[in-house]
Amino acid sequence: MVAFLIRRILGLVLVWLGVTILVFSIMHLAPGDPAMIILGPKATAESLARLRHELGLDQPLPVQYLRWLGNVLQGDFGRSLQLKRDVSELLWTRFRATALLATAATVIAVAIGLTAGVVSATRQYSVWDRAAMLLALLGFCLPVFWLGLILQIGLAYRLPVFPVSGMNAPGQSGFLDTLHHLVLPAVTLGIGPAAVIARMTRSSVLEVIRQDFVRTARAKGLAERVVILRHVLRNALIPVLTIVGLQVGYLFGGAVLVEMVFSWPGLGLLMVNGILARDFPVVQGAVLVVATTYVLVNLLVDVLYTLVDPRVRT
């Protein structure tokens, strides 16, 4: 088990380093001059040169990258060029909002996806199966921004059941108020992954349910619920866990549109504003946090593999 974890961690460290190089290169090779954006089009050449020197933008890219990476490893993501605040503080505040949204969407996606997939597989070709797969297909095809707008119109404007946008009402910061604001964006973000999980669960359960050990379990007189939950679902979880891990990474990185539609104060909204303002430290820090989360989720999925199926360790 220890050797298995060491191999996975070393591999993920290399992936993380590759992500840092990619993030840094894309931001610095993209067109646009941060100094020009900060000082405006009427800035003189001398003031532009002085600001580039202060920001370190006049140094070679490898030197800038190594300096930035060294600071990141110490927890220093720099200072926002636009907001004049420490990026670490901004990222921590926004990451908590995105993590809350992504976690709620994951719970919704896994609950709906596993339930729909198991029901479809155990009642193959029935009305339940066809209805669940049709809804899964629709959920997979619906754009999240369109679904978010439809939910806003239906459940916030026409039927004012939930708030239209934001994370809290003005002057409110309680858990129940946050939960009330969380429902619509979490459902919007979770429907697509739920559809993917449902289709994968159905396929995996159908493959396992025909195995000899399942027939043996039924022949021993075990209740159908016990056979499905203890024998079928556990052996069908490996491909499902893979999909869930990928979808969790998508939820953290793909929440940008949902956060914009619902004005959710998360990393996605911060990233978009940083890109528009050419705020290098903010964008690099936000993308790196999302990538690191994705890497850690994949490590967690690898560990769960070994718990579900000990054969994976070897």
Q: Does residue 135 belong to any structural domain of this protein?
A: yes
Q: Write the CATH number for 277.
A: 1.10.3720.10
| Chain segment 116-139, per-residue pLDDT in tens | 999 998 888 889 889 988 988 888
**Alpha helices, DSSP H, located in 87-236:** 87-122, 127-141, 144-152, 175-209, 212-219, 224-226, 233-235
What φ, ψ does residue 44 adopt, rounded to 5°? Answer: -80, 160
Q: Does residue 269 belong to any structural domain of this protein?
A: yes
Amino acid in the structure at residue 169 = A
Q: Does residue 177 belong to any structural domain of this protein?
A: yes
pLDDT number for residue 311: 64
Phi-psi bin for 101: left (phi > 0), alpha (psi -120 to 50), beta? alpha
Phi-psi bin for 125: left (phi > 0), alpha (psi -120 to 50), beta? left
pLDDT number for residue 291: 82
Ranges under pLDDT 50 in the chain: none
pLDDT number for residue 109: 92
pLDDT number for residue 186: 92
Burial (CB count within 10 angstroms: exposed 0-12, middle 13-18, buried 19+), residue 274:
buried
pTM: 0.82
CA gap 160, 173 in Å, rounded: 20
Q: Does residue 34 belong to any structural domain of this protein?
A: no
Q: Does residue 64 belong to any structural domain of this protein?
A: no
Q: Does residue 171 belong to any structural domain of this protein?
A: yes
Number of independent structural domains in the chain: 1
CA gap 163, 277 in Å, rounded: 29
- Our CA angle for 125, 193, 187, nearest 5°, is 105
Domain span at residue 291 reads 87-313
Q: Does residue 162 belong to any structural domain of this protein?
A: yes
Give residue for tokens 């490893």: 73
Q: Does residue 119 belong to any structural domain of this protein?
A: yes
pLDDT number for residue 63: 85
pLDDT number for residue 222: 83
pLDDT number for residue 310: 66
What φ, ψ does residue 28 adopt, rounded to 5°? Answer: -85, -20
Residue (of 75, 114, 151) closest to 247 by Cα position: 114
